[in-house]
A and B are shown apart, each in its own frame.
Chain A
């Protein structure tokens, strides 16, 4: 708690105020409250100012203060008029509460972390999000690693968006999508007459990314000849368009990505060691979706929201059973595959929530083959079928072993297989199964 006089100078500062602000009362008393308190509310929403103007208290207004170490402390304040013994207004009194713990608890309950367009509940991603602002602020080359579909380009765009170059262009090039000769002219550009058909100058992608960021996806696919040229660009920060004798400055930040093991490629000689060390300055590794399944509901909601906007639909969400199926899927295609699944569900689901019947067949068929004449099966059946198939495969189609693994009697297993339409293998696995 602290009190101020009518000139906004602090007249009293208690021990709790010292603890929360980190300021000794001897430093605080006599100073203007805004210089001591340093709150987000001082300039435009000062509770004390309102109270002294209207005579009415302000209760529980939330904001933050900034301590001397630059940390933000979330707080809530309440204010009242301060009177002397004669009842005259001599200033104001403000009590405030440190909401840091409450805020941490709220974040934990909500359990989601967000940086730019990236959103996650996963602790793996949280670690990544914590370092992302520093990664973005640095001018160094970033190597983004991750399986196909893990969102490497989204990550690159986020880094660009947070970086000092965010007003400049973001130019993405998929190196694996161009034949070698075309990739070179695409990246570096060419001068008129450089080769047959080069009628006029063409700026390369490096030139187009001037002042911004160039993102080179699938960097592991480029030829060794082009690797040499790229190394020169990264070392000397100049590009030489085909047919030109004058190097052009490459004023752009370089982000590269690959789903391949560059260290292994380097060992095999398929990727230049010097280029590997040049691109591997800052490394960002994106976990596959199967390692962050807690993000599936969040991502599904995000895609539903996007497709609703793009297709002017009003799909409300996803049913629990359909979500169970999404959670059980291994997602080899990662987030891109999930996005495709949601997009395809929009074909069948015109309104309401996406149900099991709206999901693409590969998701439901993988769980259990569709029985002739059967109608839509429940999510539970599909999950049961998936578990049974998996146990059978794992136990070389030995049904007794599979039943044991599933914790059910083998006759129950037979009955369930029949009900779910799981075909019995031609030969029981008992003969070949080693116990």
Chain B
């Protein structure tokens, strides 16, 4: 069972987590959605928003741009952050379910991933972009690239 939060705005991934106001919550089991919900992030401060995501029981956050201290706090709250994502909300959700979030089209501009030995690569130098290339993940611990189950949840270190 995995519970993920997607910060959304106008049916797309919200551009900036720090000021995001709406979140789509998805619970999955064996790669299938078993429950869905939505919630508002009325909290003023970005850290409180991250705290709220943790309180909602989400272990994964898929979001747009996020400032580094907030990402570090979210990681400290036990949330795996897949950041600097963009695209249509439904498409991103589907890609996450299928472990395809590291596809180029879901990366925000300037957050291109560099290949790394077949494991999905790592973000470009100086980039904070996403968990892609580090904590690449689909639901239930599936890796975004490579064989299912490899890579996800391993070597994930908040920057």
Q: Do A and B bind each other?
A: yes
Interface residues of A (CB under 8 A from B): 21-24, 27-28, 31-32, 34-40, 42-44, 66-72, 133-134, 137-138, 162-164, 166-167
- Interface hit among B26-34, B90-98, B122-130, B133-141: B122-130
B150 at interface (Cβ–Cβ under 8 A)?
Answer: no
List of B residues within 8 angstroms of A42 by Cβ: 9, 15-16
Nearest CB of chain B from residue A3's CB, rounded to whole Å? 16
Nearest CB of chain B from residue A28's CB, rounded to whole Å? 5
List of A residues within 8 angstroms of B84 by Cβ: 68
0/1 string, B18-44, CB within 8 A of A gives 1: 111100000000000000000000000
Query: Do A34 and B15 contact each other (CB < 8 Å), given the known contacts A21-B110, A70-B71?
Result: yes
List of A residues within 8 angstroms of B126 by Cβ: 68-69
Give CA–CA (A38, B85) in the complex, Å: 11
Query: Do A43 and B14 contact each other (CB < 8 Å), given the known contacts A66-B67, A68-B126?
Result: yes
Excluding A67-B110, A164-B77, 11 further A-B contacts by CB distance (< 8 Å) are A24-B110, A35-B64, A35-B86, A42-B16, A66-B67, A68-B108, A68-B124, A69-B126, A70-B159, A133-B72, A137-B76
CB-defined A-B contacts under 8 Å, sample of 8: A31-B109, A36-B110, A42-B15, A66-B16, A67-B110, A68-B108, A134-B72, A164-B73
Q: Decide if the interface of chain A is mainly helix, strand, loop or mixed.
A: loop
List of B residues within 8 angstroms of A28 by Cβ: 109-110
B61 at interface (Cβ–Cβ under 8 A)?
Answer: no
B58 at interface (Cβ–Cβ under 8 A)?
Answer: no
0/1 string, B55-69, CB within 8 A of A gives 1: 100000000111111
- A8 nearest CB neighbor, chain B only: B10
Q: Is the CB of A70 within 8 A of B67?
A: yes
Give CA–CA (A208, B9) in the complex, Å: 41
Give CA–CA (A162, B137) in the complex, Å: 28
Interface residues of B (CB under 8 A from A): 9, 12, 14-16, 18-21, 47, 51, 54-55, 64-69, 71-73, 75-78, 84, 86, 108-112, 124, 126-129, 159
List of B residues within 8 angstroms of A39 by Cβ: 15-16
Query: Do A43 and B69 contact each other (CB < 8 Å), given the known contacts A35-B86, A66-B16, A68-B129?
Result: no
Nearest CB of chain A from residue B121's CB, rounded to whole Å? 15
Give CA–CA (A31, B86) in the complex, Å: 10
Nearest CB of chain B from residue A21's CB, rounded to whole Å? 7
Q: Is the CB of A71 within 8 A of B67?
A: yes
Give CA–CA (A398, B7) in the complex, Å: 75
List of A residues within 8 angstroms of B64 by Cβ: 35, 38
Q: Is the CB of B66 within 8 A of A40?
A: no
- A134 nearest CB neighbor, chain B only: B72
Q: Is the CB of A43 within 8 A of B9?
A: yes
Q: Is the CB of B21 within 8 A of A35?
A: no
Q: Is the CB of B128 within 8 A of A69?
A: yes
List of B residues within 8 angstroms of A27 by Cβ: 109-110, 112
Q: Is the CB of A137 within 8 A of B72?
A: yes
Q: Is the CB of B110 within 8 A of A40?
A: no
- A166 nearest CB neighbor, chain B only: B51
Query: Do A68 and B67 contact each other (CB < 8 Å), given the known contacts A40-B16, A43-B21?
Result: no
Query: Do A35 and B68 contact each other (CB < 8 Å), given the known contacts A43-B14, A69-B127, A164-B78?
Result: no
